[in-house]
Amino acid sequence: MIIVGWNIFPYVAIVVVLLSLLGAIISLRSKERSGVAMLSMGLAIATMALFIVGLWMTLERPPLRTMGETRLWYSFFLLLAGLFTYGRWRYRWIMLFSTVLATVFMLINILKPEIHDQTLMPALQSFWFVPHVSVYMFSYSLFGCATLLTIVAMVRPKSDVDQAIERLIYAGMAFLSIGMLTGALWAKDAWGAYWSWDAKESWAAVTWSLYLVAMHLAPSVMAHKSRRLFYITLLLAFVALQMCWYGVNYLPSAETSIHTYNQ
C-alpha cells in the first residue's frame, strides 16, 4: 500500500500551483477560451484529487475532520470553480484569482500543519459526514468565486460580470441548502435534534439568510437597480461564511460547542 502522508503535501502543492498558474497565464494571454489553459488547470485539479484520495486511503477515513483537511478540500474546489467559471463565461482572469486564493489556503496548510491521524469521533462515524462536509466545501468555493467577481464589479463597474455572479450564487445556494439539510439529518442521528442553535449553526443560518437576500436582489441588479446594495450584501454574506467555517472556533462559546470535534 502506498502511504500518502501530510509530509509530501508541500511537493504536491508546488506541482498544483505551477500547473494552475500556467493555465491562468495562458488564459490571460488568449482572447478566446484556451483548451491548453483548461488542460493545465485540469491537470492541477487531478493532482490535488489524487493526493486527497491517497490521504483518504492512508488515514482510512475521509480527510474532512480537521480545519487543515477542510482547507485542502476548499483549495481543490476553488480551482474547480475557477475552471468552471472560465469555461462557462470566459473570464480570462478568474483562473488567476482562484489560483491565488487556493494557493493562500495551501500555504496556510504548509505553514500550519495539523495532526492528521486515523481518529474519528463517534459523532463523525456517520453516513452524513462525507456528503455534508464536501457539499459545504463546494458551495464555499462557488461563493468564493462569486466574491472575487463581486470585487471586480465594484472596482470596475463596466466589467459586466453580474450574470456570472448571479449564476454562481444560485448554484452555491443550492449546495449550501443541501449541506444544511444533510447537517440537520446528521444532527438528528447524532444528538437527537435537527437544530440546536449552536454557534456554528447560528452563523450558518445567518450566512444562508444573507445569500437568500442577495438572490432576491439579483433580478433588480439585472435591471440596473440596487447594484451597490447587491454587492455589499454579497460581501457581508462571505464574511458571515468565514465566521461559520472557522471564525466560531475563536468565540468563547466554542468551548461548549457541539462542533468542537473540528478542532
Q: Which of 75, 147, 148 is nearest to 108 (CA)?
A: 75
Alpha-carbon gap, residue 165 to 105, rounded angstroms? 22
Q: How far is CA 51 from CA 2, 18, 61, 177, in A?
A: 11, 16, 14, 28
Percent of the chain with pLDDT over 90: 58
Q: Residue 222 in contact with residue 166, Cβ under 8 Å?
A: yes
Alpha-carbon gap, residue 107 to 13, rounded angstroms? 8
Sequence length of the chain is: 263
Q: Which of 97, 86, 3, 83 is nearest to 44 (CA)?
A: 83
Alpha-carbon gap, residue 29 to 119, rounded angstroms? 47
Interval 64-106: pLDDT, tens: 888 899 999 999 999 999 999 999 888 888 999 999 999 999 9
Single-letter residue type at 116: H
Reported as half-sphere exposure (CB side, CA atoms, 13 A), residue 194 has a value of 5
> In CATH, what class is 121-254?
mainly alpha
Residue ranges of domains in the chain: 1-120, 121-254
> pTM of the entire structure?
0.86
Low-confidence ranges of the chain (pLDDT < 50): 262-263
